Copies of this chain bind each other. A is one copy, B any other.
């Protein structure tokens, strides 16, 4: 229901069932065995046995409190929920100028965050992994957590990365190309470590904890310095054949249009990315050129025509880009995550209007749209979500091994 289970390596049918049950529980705040059976369309007997294993492993727990709402006749259902205390996990976003660490528990609740500033934005893979260790230790120290309690680490990084294998084809944060990080993780890090593209991880966070909870088809569009996208289709992340799809930021919105940081022309992010808006709003100014979206907004508010025009155009183009996504993917929902500050009126309306005017009209309502702030911890939380998912698999499998012994 939530993830591609069959594709997970070395997971037998029983583990897959347990995992499905675990994810069903996670997708609700709390749920009874009967309801799980119904949700997964399987027999109560199967659910009982899977829950037994999960309880024994400490991954879930029974809730004492009576279920709220109208009291029913008959034996009351026992609600199950994720046992947050099962273990801790570190999500780390490899950003340009810092490593952002968030420590979460198994339920996804945040224990705390920590940022390790960086001098250089690109480094050798080996040095990067050592730095991750430094960041982890510092974060634990800062938050009063024993590093030994951390059961897993998940890293989010821009670039083309195969999240299943931990192989990085290219990243703006790493000097080398084509690096297999797995051996590096094994040498330098104290626990299982996972790596994936950062936009994918935000999609995963939305899928597990956010607006995408329980949805099968939705998109996450991230707008900050550049523009990224995560695609969830059929309940699982779509990565493309070579692992380099979802490059919305470099889809073309104009023939021979504005120059992009990638060197091509007419890329979406060359109009709506932070850097592009700053650049465009600075054109022709000798002094007082804006250096951030906040400054452009302030200037527009103060009546500056160019600033207004840049914001207006970006809003419209982003609306059109979202409309194109609706036309192509027809998703259930789109999450638009953009960095602060939020845009003032009338810009959001310009975007929504462009979205509406450019989607194919059918009877069915448009997909839902959630606009949310993409703060730094969101990225790291996405990494954590990925880690939770991967660790769930490990733990369930581990438990299976214990059973067998």
Chain A interface (Cβ < 8 Å from any Cβ of B): 160, 169-170, 177-178, 216-217, 229, 233-234, 238-248, 250-255, 262, 264, 266, 316-317, 320, 323-324, 327-332, 357-358, 360-364, 367
Contacts A320-B255, A323-B252 given; does A360 touch B244 at CB 8 Å = yes
Known: A241-B331, A244-B364. 14 other contacts (CB 8 A): A160-B362, A169-B364, A170-B363, A240-B329, A240-B331, A242-B330, A242-B362, A242-B364, A246-B328, A247-B330, A248-B327, A251-B328, A264-B358, A328-B328
A373 → chain B, closest Cβ, in Å?
25
Residues in B with CB closer than 8 Å to A242 are 330, 362, 364
CA distance A134 to B217 in the complex (A): 40
Task: Quickly give the copy total for this chain.
Answer: 2
A interface secondary structure, majority: loop
Residues in B with CB closer than 8 Å to A367 are 241
Q: Choose among B239, B244, B329 the residue that contacts A245 (Cβ–Cβ < 8 A).
A: B329
**Nearest 4 CB-CB pairings of A with B:** A240-B330, A245-B330, A242-B364, A247-B327
A324–B251 touching, CB < 8 Å: yes
Q: Choose among B241, B327, B328, B362 the residue that contacts A330 (Cβ–Cβ < 8 A).
A: B241
Could you list 26 examples of A-B contacts with CB < 8 Å?
Answer: A170-B362, A170-B363, A177-B363, A217-B240, A217-B241, A233-B233, A233-B234, A233-B238, A239-B330, A240-B331, A241-B367, A244-B330, A244-B364, A247-B327, A247-B330, A247-B360, A248-B328, A251-B327, A251-B328, A252-B323, A252-B324, A253-B253, A253-B255, A254-B254, A264-B357, A266-B358
Q: Name which residue of chain B comes closest to A170, CB basis.
A: B362
Q: Name which residue of chain B comes closest to A254, CB basis.
A: B254
A60 → chain B, closest Cβ, in Å?
26
Q: Name which residue of chain B comes closest to A327, CB basis.
A: B247
Residues in B with CB closer than 8 Å to A331 are 240-241
CA distance A38 to B229 in the complex (A): 36
Residues in B with CB closer than 8 Å to A243 are 330
B327–A362 touching, CB < 8 Å: no
CA distance A264 to B355 in the complex (A): 12
CA distance A328 to B239 in the complex (A): 10
Residues in B with CB closer than 8 Å to A253 are 252-253, 255
CA distance A104 to B266 in the complex (A): 46
Residues in B with CB closer than 8 Å to A217 are 240-241
Q: Name which residue of chain B comes closest to A333, CB basis.
A: B241
A263 → chain B, closest Cβ, in Å?
8
Contacts A364-B242, A367-B241 given; does A358 touch B327 at CB 8 Å = no
CA distance A233 to B239 in the complex (A): 11
CA distance A327 to B160 in the complex (A): 12
A360–B250 touching, CB < 8 Å: yes
A9 → chain B, closest Cβ, in Å?
12
Q: Name which residue of chain B comes closest to A231, CB basis.
A: B328
A328–B363 touching, CB < 8 Å: no
Which residue of A233, A239, A328, A362 has the most chain B CB atoms within 10 A of its CB atom?
Answer: A328
CA distance A255 to B169 in the complex (A): 34
CA distance A242 to B45 in the complex (A): 35
Residues in B with CB closer than 8 Å to A324 are 251-252
Q: Choose among B247, B266, B323, B332 the residue that contacts A328 (Cβ–Cβ < 8 A).
A: B247
Q: Choose among B169, B216, B245, B329 the residue that contacts A327 (Cβ–Cβ < 8 A).
A: B245
Which residue of A324, A330, A357 has the most chain B CB atoms within 10 A of its CB atom?
Answer: A330
A259 → chain B, closest Cβ, in Å?
13
Residues in B with CB closer than 8 Å to A251 are 324, 327-328
A111 → chain B, closest Cβ, in Å?
36
A300 → chain B, closest Cβ, in Å?
20
CA distance A246 to B264 in the complex (A): 26
